[in-house]
């Protein structure tokens, strides 16, 4: 291939270029560049070879034509990684930034513009370490709309807190360090003052409408009054007016319009989680969100000691589809990844070790998510931090394979501002839900936790339809009160759970339609433990569950209680289990060295069928009651009770009693059913079809119209 012939008028220019020391000058037309046999263009393009940026800036650009190109071998030295290709624009007056725009050293007219395919590298701005701040280079690359990917191949230093509204950009730091010592001060109470902050644009388009009809749970059809103000594809921040508390708002979400249904209704990409009454007011603010701005593969070294001086890497507000991955952080103050008003995102393979504070509100988190939707946090880890994952007023999010050690401050939390439909799978670390106070509502709904291990699990306030599967709670000496599993009896369901400390059941809400069931589980207790609190008015069922160490334990609830095939184990020298529930059913199972004492101030009914009782307790009675001014209905069928000498299988001394025992076997021990307990017209006693083997009848009323205890009873 031959080089196209040049006019003789080009000879002086070629002479000047050679005089500048630019070896390897190539004059080539586009026909040569493409390998085409077509005729060359009327003007050729010069391609120069230059060693460094300093040489490039010192170059005599006077004889250069527009579009002259330079192959730069390095930034400071050839081969240092800062190689790039640049194009000369003799009319450009763009500001010199040392990377995408390079001016001659004497600032003569014209600029060198870096040619790239959309991927830029901090080395092409002269940054090869932490000696000099890289803030200006970062701004230059982000501000260039032709850039879609920014890479770091060395450690970098930053001294400013950057705020961008840029979309479609990826920052990949390649696993290198970011240092931030001497970073500029933050503003007060501002977890969004990260080194890399992305924020969408909040427009001045605001629409407010008061609901004329109720909106049911899971509705995605919104009454807006005038749907003509909305268009499919738009993003809006929608917020409902508060209830009694300052922040009690069931809806605070960044949503997208998917359909204009009719003149008054739109459909959005979100199904609400709470029933809304007519008369509630929704405020819609149109948002131009940041879209697909990702940050990846960063080792972040925090600096500073407090909210003003402390540093942290990433924050998002009004953002969609913005992912974060591979951040390894140490010594941060505010959350490593802070999000608010975000939808569709992933935070994965991130970690935080030893943040600056675990006591200052909002500090010391790996990630906090406020008003977020459709998020997934996965494969993350914290050590000695406050929270690994915090959801506030968020919905339809997933947390997978995340682990927190040194977890006394609680790796997994929700704030209690009407979170709903959250799923946690395969995680470890202390967990508390909706525990931040009544001002935010103290509510959450439809949270599922599977295969979780922790030292403390508390979901005691208004948590509706909580589901726990294979949750392991093991206490530790360093954390007082650890080992507990505390749940709200509002549709709570546990399967295969274990707690070394107490199981505590309380009730703070009544929204659920599903039963409260704890099954196939095992719990241990300290003496005098309160298993159900007095607030529990809803039915509670424990099925195939072991309750260990129920020494003087109390069930103080009032609603129906079912113990189905459960095993309760106590100690011979402690009091039996005390129950205040008004309707108690014990179906099968076993009581070992404990018993049931009916202790309500109101009438009670105890139904036992096919249960084994054995051993003794401090009271010397396996089944007994307290209080005289009430009625107890005893329905005992198929008991198999074995007691040592002196221990009563059944001890009834006073009050009004309706007693029926059939088909039961009593071995050893005694029966004490005192006449004073069966005197009123509301009392009766039927003890029939039973076997008594070595059992002493220490007291029984005389038989009569309402008393029968000899017929078809075998005594040995």
| pLDDT tens string 203-231 | 999 999 999 999 999 999 999 999 999 99
What per-residue confidence (pLDDT) applies to 478? 87
Identify the band that residue 3 occupies on the pLDDT scale cut at 50, 70 and 90.
very low
Average per-residue pLDDT for the chain = 93
Count of beta carbons in the 10 Å neighbourhood of residue 175: 13
pLDDT confidence tier of residue 504, bands split at 50, 70 and 90: very high
* pLDDT for res 714: 77
Buried-exposed string 668-702: b where 16+ CB fall within 10 A, e elsewhere = bbbbbbbeebbeeeebbbbbbebebeebeeebbbe
Encode pLDDT of 590-604 as tens digits: 999 999 999 999 999
- What's the pLDDT at 716? 76
**Which DSSP helix (H) or strand (E) runs through 698?**
strand 696-699
Residue 492 tokens read as 């709570």
Please tell me the predicted confidence (pLDDT) of residue 44. 57
Q: Is 601 exposed, middle or buried (0-12, 13-18, 19+ CB in 10 A)?
A: exposed
Cα distance between the two ends of the chain: 119
CATH fit for domain 201-286, picks 2.40.30.20, 3.90.420.10, 3.40.50.300, 3.40.50.620: 2.40.30.20
The yes-or-no verdict on residue 711 having pLDDT over 80 is no
Please determine, for residue 21, whether its predicted confidence score (pLDDT) is greater than 90: no
Count, residues in the chain: 716
Structure tokens at 598: 């009916």
User: What burial class does residue 260 get, using C-beta atoms within 10 Å of its C-beta: 0-12 exposed, 13-18 middle, 19+ buried?
Assistant: middle
Tokens 């003149």 — which residue?
263
Query: What tokens were used for 658?
Result: 């309706």
pLDDT the model gives residue 582: 97
pLDDT for 15 beyond 70: no
Neighbour-count burial for 536-546, b at 16+ CB within 10 Å, e otherwise: bebbbbbbbbb
| Contact of 255 with 270, CB cutoff 8 Å | yes
Mean pLDDT of the 370-384 span? 98
Q: What are 651-705's pLDDT values in tens digits?
A: 999 999 999 999 999 999 999 999 999 998 899 999 999 999 999 999 999 999 9
- CA separation for the pair 694, 647 (Å, rounded): 12
- pLDDT tens for each residue of 281-301: 999 999 999 999 999 999 999
Measured CA to CA, the distance from residue 308 to residue 477 in angstroms comes to 35
Q: pLDDT tens digits, residue range 72-116?
A: 999 999 999 999 999 999 999 999 999 999 999 988 889 999 999
CA distance 37 to 34: 9
What pLDDT digit, counting tens, does each position of 446-481 carry? 999 999 999 999 999 999 999 999 999 999 988 888
Q: Which residues contact 508 (CB under 8 A, 6 or more apart)?
A: 442, 460, 461, 462, 488, 490, 535
> How do the domains of the chain map onto residue ranges?
1-115, 201-286, 525-716
**What is the gyration radius of the CA atoms in the chain, in angstroms?**
37
Q: Per-residue pLDDT for 25 more than 70?
A: no
SS (H, E, C) 624-657: EECCCCCEEEEEEECCEEEEEEEEEEEEECCCEE
């Amino acid at each position: 291939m031959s080089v196209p012939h040049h006019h003789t008028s080009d000879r002086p220019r070629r002479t000047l270029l050679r005089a500048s020391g630019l070896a390897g000058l190539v004059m080539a037309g586009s026909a040569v560049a493409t390998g085409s046999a077509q005729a060359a263009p009327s003007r050729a393009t010069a391609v120069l070879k230059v060693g460094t940026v300093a040489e490039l800036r010192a170059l005599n650009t006077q004889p250069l034509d527009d579009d002259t190109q330079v192959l730069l071998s390095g930034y400071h030295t050839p081969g240092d990684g800062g190689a790039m290709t640049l194009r000369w624009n003799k009319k450009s007056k763009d500001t010199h930034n040392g990377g995408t725009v390079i001016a001659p050293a004497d600032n003569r007219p014209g600029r060198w513009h870096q040619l790239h395919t959309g991927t830029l590298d901090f080395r092409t701005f002269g940054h090869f370490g932490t000696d000099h701040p890289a803030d200006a280079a970062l701004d230059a690359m982000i501000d260039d709309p032709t850039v879609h990917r920014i890479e770091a191949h060395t450690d970098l230093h930053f001294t400013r807190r950057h705020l961008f509204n840029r979309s479609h950009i990826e920052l990949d730091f390649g696993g290198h360090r970011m240092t931030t010592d001497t970073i500029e001060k933050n503003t007060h109470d501002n977890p969004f003052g990260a080194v890399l902050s992305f924020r969408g644009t909040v427009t001045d388009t605001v629409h407010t409408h008061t609901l004329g009809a109720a909106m049911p749970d899971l509705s995605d059809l919104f009454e807006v009054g005038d749907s003509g103000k909305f268009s499919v594809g738009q993003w809006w921040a929608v917020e409902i007016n508060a209830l009694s508390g300052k922040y009690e708002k069931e809806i605070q979400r960044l949503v997208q319009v998917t359909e204009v249904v009719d003149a008054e209704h739109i459909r959005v990409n979100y199904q609400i989680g709470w029933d809304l009454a007519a008369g509630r007011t929704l405020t819609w603010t149109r948002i131009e969100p940041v879209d697909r701005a990702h940050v990846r593969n960063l080792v972040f070294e925090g600096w500073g000691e407090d909210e003003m001086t402390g540093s942290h890497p990433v924050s998002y507000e009004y953002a969609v589809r913005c992912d974060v991955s591979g951040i390894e952080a140490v010594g941060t103050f505010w959350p490593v990844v802070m999000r608010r008003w975000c939808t569709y995102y992933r935070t994965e393979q991130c970690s935080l070790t030893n943040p600056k504070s675990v006591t200052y509100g909002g500090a010391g988190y790996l990630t906090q998510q406020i008003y977020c939707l459709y998020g997934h946090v996965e494969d993350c880890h914290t050590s000695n931090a406050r929270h690994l994952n915090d959801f506030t007023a968020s919905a339809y999010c997933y947390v997978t394979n995340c682990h927190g050690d040194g977890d006394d401050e609680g790796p997994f939390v929700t704030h209690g501002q009407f979170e709903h439909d959250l799923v946690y799978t395969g995680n470890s670390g202390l967990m508390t839900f909706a525990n931040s106070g009544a001002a935010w509502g103290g509510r959450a709904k439809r949270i599922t936790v599977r295969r979780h291990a922790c030292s403390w699990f508390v979901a005691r306030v208004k948590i509706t339809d909580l589901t726990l599967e294979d949750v392991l709670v093991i206490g530790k000496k360093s954390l007082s009160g650890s080992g507990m599993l505390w749940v709200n009896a509002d549709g709570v369901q546990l399967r295969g759970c274990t707690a070394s400390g107490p199981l505590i059941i309380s009730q703070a809400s009544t929204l659920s339609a599903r039963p409260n069931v704890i099954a196939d589980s095992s719990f241990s207790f300290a003496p005098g433990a309160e298993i159900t609190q007095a607030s529990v008015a809803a039915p509670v069922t424990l099925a195939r569950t072991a309750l260990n160490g129920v020494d003087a334990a109390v069930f103080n609830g009032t609603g129906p209680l079912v113990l189905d095939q459960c095993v309760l184990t106590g100690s011979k020298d402690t009091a039996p289990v005390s129950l205040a529930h008004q309707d108690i059913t014990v179906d099968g199972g076993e009581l070992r060295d404990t018993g049931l004492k009916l202790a309500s101030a109101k009438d009670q009914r105890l139904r036992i069928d096919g249960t084994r009782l054995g051993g003794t307790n401090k009271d010397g009675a396996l089944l007994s009651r307290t209080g005289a001014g009430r009625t107890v209905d005893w329905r005992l069928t198929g008991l198999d009770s074995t007691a040592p000498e002196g221990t009563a299988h059944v001890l009834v001394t006073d009050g009004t009693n309706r007693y029926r025992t059939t088909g039961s076997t009593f071995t050893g021990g005694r029966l004490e059913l005192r006449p004073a307990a069966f005197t009123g017209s509301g009392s009766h006693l039927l003890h029939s079809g039973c076997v008594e083997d070595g059992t002493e009848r220490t007291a029984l009323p005389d038989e009569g119209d309402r008393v029968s205890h000899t017929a078809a009873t075998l005594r040995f």
